[in-house]
């Protein structure tokens, strides 16, 4: 599905919630449709998109409702992402469906999502009490600094680097805001980077994060643009970018991109971390 077609999908429409299990609700959006907008060849990049669903429910064969928190891991190499509203409607279609066991539900989720996005999807289910607690992102939070100027459309020219200081460093910010390209609704996030190379001036990273404030794109595409702009500076030897978007409709989306070829997921310390807004 192209971005144009996405506007004609569930994301931009009023629709009633399904009462029967309906995997056909899942709608895919080709990653290439947004990647061509970068206007350049993609740098070496691997990673995942981690979705967390806080409102998963189904019935046992005895008719007893069950609830869980689900984590879905999509490879950034998959041909497509899943449109978020269609994902929510799909999950709600499970509410009155009977599964023989939690394992059967997990297998069903893996099968349906893999078919929709075109690549294997990892699924984990957690009881409410066993899910991870809230913590802080590692590294320097740049939010208490101030930049020389602020703009509200992303521009790599805002990034400033030292010419002679080489570091291994981590920054984070809770000031990332972008906007849904279909509905225009704001998407709020915290972003974390870890890099090695010439030192990135933290005030310039702050200005760059803020510059997404009026930008319209999907979560995954915003983080790929951020990765491409940082890596495209030619100043870095390694780079990781991870964003933790606040939930909407019981789902949050957390894209991770890395210059490491074999990176399949964020470091364990990040994978188990939730920020207060999630």
Per-10-residue mean pLDDT of the chain, 278 residues long, equals: 51 73 97 84 88 97 97 96 96 97 98 98 94 90 95 96 96 97 94 97 98 96 96 95 94 94 72 84
What residues does CATH 3.30.1130.10 cover in the chain?
3-130, 140-271
Q: What is the pTM of this model?
A: 0.90
Quick one: pLDDT at residue 268?
80
Pairing of strands 140-141, 236-245: unpaired
Given 3.10.20.440, 3.40.50.180, 3.30.1130.10, 1.10.101.10, which CATH number is that of 140-271? Answer: 3.30.1130.10
Catalytically annotated residues? 180, 187
Please state which CATH number belongs to domain 3-130: 3.30.1130.10
What is the model's pLDDT at position 134? 87
pLDDT at res. 211: 97
């Amino acid at each position: 599905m192209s971005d144009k077609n996405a506007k004609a999908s569930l994301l931009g429409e009023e629709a009633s919630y399904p009462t029967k299990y309906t995997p056909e609700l899942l709608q895919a959006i080709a990653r290439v449709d947004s990647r061509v907008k970068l206007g350049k060849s993609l740098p070496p990049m691997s990673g995942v998109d981690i979705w967390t669903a806080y409102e998963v429910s189904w019935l046992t064969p005895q008719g007893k409702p069950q609830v869980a928190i689900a984590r879905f891991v999509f490879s950034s190499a998959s041909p497509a992402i899943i449109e978020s509203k269609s994902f929510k409607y799909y999950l709600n279609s499970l509410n009155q469906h009977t599964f023989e066991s939690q394992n059967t539900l997990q297998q069903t989720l893996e099968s349906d999502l893999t078919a929709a996005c075109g690549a294997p999807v990892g699924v984990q289910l957690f009881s409410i009490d066993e899910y991870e607690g809230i913590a802080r992102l590692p590294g320097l939070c740049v939010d208490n600094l101030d930049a020389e100027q602020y703009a509200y459309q992303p521009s790599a020219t805002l990034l400033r680097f030292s010419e002679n200081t080489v570091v291994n460093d981590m920054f984070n910010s809770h000031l990332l805001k972008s906007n849904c390209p279909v509905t225009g609704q704001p998407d709020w996030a915290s972003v974390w980077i870890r890099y090695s190379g010439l030192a990135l001036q933290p005030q310039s990273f702050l200005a760059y994060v803020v510059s997404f404030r009026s930008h319209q794109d999907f979560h995954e595409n915003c983080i790929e643009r951020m990765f491409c702009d940082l890596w495209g500076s030619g100043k870095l030897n390694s780079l990781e970018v991870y964003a933790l978007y606040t939930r909407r409709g019981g789902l949050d989306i957390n894209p991770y991109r890395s210059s490491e070829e074999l990176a399949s997921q964020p470091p364990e310390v990040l994978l188990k971390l939730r920020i207060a807004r999630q």
